Amino acid sequence: MKLPLACLAFALSGVLTCAAQVPMPGDDGMDAEQAARLQAAQDAVGSWYTRAAEQLAASGKARDLAFAATLLEGARPAAPAASAPDGDAPSQAVRRDARVGQWRQLASARAGSDVVANVLLLQGDTAADAAVRKQALERWRKLEPDNLAPRLYAGTAAGDWLSQAGSYARLDQHYYEQLRWMQTALAAHPPGADEAGLFGDDVPGDAAAAVAAAGILAAVAAPALRPLSEACRGDALEATPTRRADCRRVAQLAADTADTSANTMFGIGLLQATAATPGEQADAQERRRQLDWRMLAWGRVAGSQPDSGAAQFARLLRDPGVRTERDLVERVLAEAGIPAEPPAGWEMPRR
HSE at residue 263, side-chain half, CA atoms within 13 A, is 27
Q: What is the pLDDT along the chain (351 residues), one digit of tens a residue?
A: 344 444 444 444 443 233 233 344 455 566 788 788 777 778 888 899 999 999 999 999 999 999 999 999 988 754 444 444 444 454 445 678 999 999 999 999 999 999 999 999 999 878 889 999 999 999 999 999 999 999 999 999 999 999 999 999 999 999 999 999 999 999 999 887 776 566 655 667 788 889 889 989 988 878 999 999 999 999 999 999 999 999 999 999 999 999 999 999 999 999 999 999 999 999 999 999 999 999 999 999 999 998 888 899 999 999 999 999 999 999 999 999 999 999 999 999 886
Cβ-defined contacts of 133-140 (< 8 Å, 24+): 135/108, 136/108, 136/111, 139/111, 139/112, 139/113, 140/115
- The ranges assigned to domains in the chain are 5-81+98-335
| Cα–Cα distance for residue pair 197/189, rounded to 1 Å | 15
